């Protein structure tokens, strides 16, 4: 059996491996773009196959595609969706602009598998042609943006949103668990007035909830599709009936609520929805980074640091220091956040770089969006299960710190004035005594009254 088959495109002959389902254009892209070694993400490929099968069904419904050929294309696409042909998608992430190489990779693989289904041999494009049949009523310029929208929406709603919900609930449980545990507050990394440890975690819960709503709203913006817009948004070679039929089929298959875009030109020109999602992911990464940093600070020590909380030990922390435990999970989350923030910058520049009727940088936009969502989803899941859910309050340390806290002198200010309260705090620091001890020495008020006034729990106001 020959190791290669000869195919032709308008540039000439191309030798394609005889067992490959892809064809000439994919082979050219594979040979030309040896860049990163990273292939287009599998979830993007499978979503593109959903678009292709939906296009075949739509074209059959409007009477444009022969039903026998259409059924073979649908069957081939179903195999792609189920992962049976994963090794046939060989194009590098960094490829020709607009994603034409990825589109043709899909077209060729679906065509050649459909040819086999009809009893033919790979490369016999008289039976099923990659452009004429699989790509019927389509262009890269309308199918690629649609695939970006669909794959990103599904990744956000099925992966990231559920993990954020679990993290929010974990923070809520900790807020309740720590609700009556007072501690020293800190501003400027210096001691401040007391608060409950639960207050801090309630703040983290609110932050996650706000970011969750941002992510959900950005996902909703992706529901508009420009399928049938073809090359520039005018709908050349695609009917309005086809556009309605393909979106309806995608809806049925994904069980989502996709709709036909009000303006095809906007979707194909701007990629503004992807910018909103990228911004939401960046904002989420910034918020998570802050929370991870706080947990690292609050667990620092255990002797020379804050040691307010105890993180679950997950692994040894040093190759030389026995018994050392590091905040490994928050550190992992920090690194993911840095990466997502960097990817967001790439997305912003790529979207800003779009010109006229098309953004040619869609491949790197889609790759970074899906990569960021995947990284955040996985890392948040680990952070919730292996860190947040197991956090314990170091109540002995918190109580001891409160006794020595000079900022508690703030409670005296309304009764003796700011200046006198400052003198007591200064003296307490200088002599290494508590504020209460200095106040008793100065006989500012009866001991019972002073005890009540300087009770940290009393100082913490609840709305």
The predicted structure's pLDDT at residue 1: 54
Tell me the three-class secondary structure of 320-367, residue by residue.
CCCCCECCHHHHHHHHHHHHHHHHHHHHHHHHHCCECCECCCHHHHHH
427 falls in which pLDDT band (50, 70, 90)?
confident
Residue 190 confidence (pLDDT) above 80 = yes
* Residue 262 clears pLDDT 80, i.e. is over it: yes
Percentage of the chain lying above the pLDDT 90 cut: 82
- pLDDT above 80 for 29: yes
- Tokens coding 360: 């040619």
Higher pLDDT, 334 or 191: 334
User: Which range is least confidently modeled, 102-106, 353-357, 364-368?
Assistant: 353-357
Q: What is the pLDDT of residue 24?
A: 96
Mean of the pLDDT values across residues 54-73?
98
pLDDT at position 308 is: 97
- Read off the DSSP letter of residue 139: -
Is residue 463's pLDDT more than 60? Answer: no
Tell me the pTM. Answer: 0.92
Cis peptide before 302 (omega within 30 of 0): yes
Q: Strands 259-260 and 12-17: what pairing? A: unpaired
Contacts of 388 (CB under 8 A, 6+ apart): 167, 170, 171, 174
Segment among 20-29, 194-203, 333-342, 421-430 with least mean pLDDT: 421-430
pLDDT on residue 364: 97
- Which pLDDT value is given to residue 454? 74
Domains by residue range for the chain, with CATH: 4-136 (1.10.275.10), 148-394 (1.20.200.10), 405-459 (1.10.40.30)
Over residues 229-241, the pLDDT tens digits come to: 999 999 999 999 9
Give the integer Cα–Cα distance in Å for 129 and 132: 5
The reported pLDDT for the residue numbered 209 is 98
As a whole number, mean pLDDT of residues 199-228 equals 97
Mean of per-residue pLDDT scores for the chain: 94
Active site residue 318: yes
| Confidence grade of residue 322 (pLDDT, cut at 50, 70, 90) | confident
Per-residue pLDDT band at 462 (split at 50, 70, 90): low
> What distance in Å separates the CA atoms of residue 350 and residue 363, rounded to the nearest whole number?
10
**How big is the CA angle at 181 (ends 176 and 183), to the nearest 5 degrees?**
130
Region of 417 on the Ramachandran plot (φ > 0 left; ψ -120 to 50 alpha; else beta):
left
Mean pLDDT of 283-295: 98
Residue 2 has pLDDT above 70, yes or no: no
- Judged by phi (left if over 0) then psi (alpha if -120 to 50, else beta), residue 241 lies in alpha
How confident is the model over 125-150, as pLDDT tens digits? 999 999 999 999 999 999 999 999 99
pLDDT value of position 199: 96
- Is residue 16 scored above 80 in pLDDT? yes
What does the pLDDT average to over 90-115? Answer: 97
pLDDT exceeds 80 at position 458:
no
Catalytic residue among 318, 344, 366, 399: 318
**In angstroms, rounded to a whole number, what is the distance separating the alpha carbons of residues 188 and 94?**
45
Mean pLDDT for 297-308 is 95
Mean pLDDT of 313-323: 88
């Amino acid at each position: 059996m020959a190791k290669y088959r000869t195919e032709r495109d308008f540039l000439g002959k191309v030798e394609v491996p005889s067992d490959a389902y892809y064809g000439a254009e994919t082979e050219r892209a594979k040979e030309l773009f040896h860049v990163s070694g990273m292939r287009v993400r599998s979830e993007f490929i499978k979503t593109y196959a959903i678009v292709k099968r939906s296009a075949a069904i739509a074209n059959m419904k409007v009477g444009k595609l022969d039903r026998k050929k259409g059924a073979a294309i649908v069957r081939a696409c179903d195999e792609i969706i189920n992962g049976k042909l994963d090794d046939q998608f060989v194009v590098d992430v960094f490829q020709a602009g607009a994603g034409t190489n990825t589109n043709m990779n899909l077209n060729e693989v679906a065509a050649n598998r459909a040819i086999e289904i009809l009893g033919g041999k790979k490369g016999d494009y008289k039976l099923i042609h990659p452009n004429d049949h699989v790509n019927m009523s389509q262009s890269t310029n309308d199918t690629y943006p649609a695939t970006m929208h669909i794959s990103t929406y599904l990744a956000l709603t099925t992966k990231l949103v559920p993990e954020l919900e679990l993290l929010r609930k974990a923070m809520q449980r900790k807020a309740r668990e720590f609700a009556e545990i007072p501690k020293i507050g800190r501003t400027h990394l210096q001691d401040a007035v007391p608060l409950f440890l639960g207050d801090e975690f309630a703040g983290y819960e609110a932050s996650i909830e706000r970011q969750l709503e941002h992510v959900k709203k950005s996902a909703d913006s992706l529901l508009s599709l420009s399928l049938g817009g073809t090359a520039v948004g005018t709908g050349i070679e695609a009917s309005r009936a086809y556009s309605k039929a393909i979106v309806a089929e995608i809806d049925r298959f994904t069980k989502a609520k996709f709709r036909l875009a009000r303006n095809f030109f906007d979707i194909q020109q701007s990629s503004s929805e992807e910018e909103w999602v990228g911004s939401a992911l960046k904002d989420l990464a910034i918020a998570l980074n802050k929370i991870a940093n706080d947990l690292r600070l609050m667990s620092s020590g255990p002797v020379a640091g804050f040691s307010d909380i105890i993180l679950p030990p997950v692994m040894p922390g040093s190759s030389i220091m026995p018994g050392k435990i590091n905040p490994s999970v928050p550190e992992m989350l920090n690194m993911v956040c840095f990466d997502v923030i960097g990817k967001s910058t790439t997305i912003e520049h790529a979207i800003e770089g779009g010109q006229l009727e098309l953004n040619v940088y869609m491949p790197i936009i889609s790759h970074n969006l899906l990569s960021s969502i995947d990284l955040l989803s996985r890392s948040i899941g680990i952070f919730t299960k292996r860190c947040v859910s197991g956090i314990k309050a170091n109540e002995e340390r918190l109580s001891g710190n409160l006794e020595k806290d000079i900022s508690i002198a703030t409670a005296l200010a309304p009764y003796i004035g700011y200046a006198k309260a400052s003198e007591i705090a200064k003296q307490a620091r200088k002599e290494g005594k508590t504020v209460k001890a200095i106040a008793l020495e100065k006989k500012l008020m009866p001991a019972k009254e002073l005890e009540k006034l300087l009770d940290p729990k009393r100082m913490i106001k609840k709305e």
